[in-house]
Amino acid sequence: MSTEFDQYSNAYHRSIAHPVRSLLESVGENEFLRAKARWIDHWWTVTGRPSAARVLDYGCGTGLLTGYLHDLRPDWSYSGADPSAGMIDAARVRSALAPRGTLLIFEHNPFNPLTQIVVRSTPIDRDAQMRTASFVTSALQRFGFQVEARRYLHFFPPRLRALERLERGLAWLPLGSQYLVEARLSEEPVPQDVAR
């Protein structure tokens, strides 16, 4: 159980506020999360997934991403979990994933200089250790996941929706402000010293 983020629960939106973010988003809107929801919706469609889905938003905060996804996919079933309400060990996220389920991890990209500035100067992220996509990929493989794709996103302010197609074309370039690692459970057993 972790209480590290409890201090931000009543003022979460103010806690993640940052002058740079304010320049890139509309007032009262988290366009970065809305853009992630649109990305997930697009990915779901182009990969030919079934219409129904169960979503676990791990690290959901106040549930904004889940709400934005619900706007796009109201027929999906949603659950959320966050460290401030008690965290399970990261290695056990496996148990929450359905067989053949897909894990999507969105993280800050430490290779993006603007992301470095924002993370270092935002109180809620003061102790954050940004990890590279390669680090996350290796960790997932150690825990028995098969990594299927790695993409970069948020090259442009998310309110510039006309550039979303161009952004998807740049997904290979490790300069976006965030990255995404897509993984599935491997069929191979996890070594005992890693599974613990």
Mind listing the pLDDT tens digit for each residue in 52-98?
Answer: 888 988 888 788 899 999 999 999 999 888 765 443 344 347 666 77
In the chain, which residues have pLDDT < 70?
A: 1-29, 83-92, 94-96, 187-196
Domains and CATH numbers, the chain: 6-195 (3.40.50.150)
Cα separations in angstroms, 80 against 14, 28, 48, 60, 174: 21, 22, 25, 6, 29
Write down the pLDDT at residue 73. Answer: 94
Number of C-beta neighbours around residue 14 at 10 A: 10
Cα separations in angstroms, 53 against 20, 50, 73, 75: 35, 7, 9, 8
Write down the pLDDT at residue 12. Answer: 47
Write down the pLDDT at residue 83. Answer: 66
Kindly tell me the sign of the dihedral angle through the C-alpha atoms of 130, 134, 136, 139.
negative
Full 3-state SS string of 52-64: CCEEEEECCCCCH
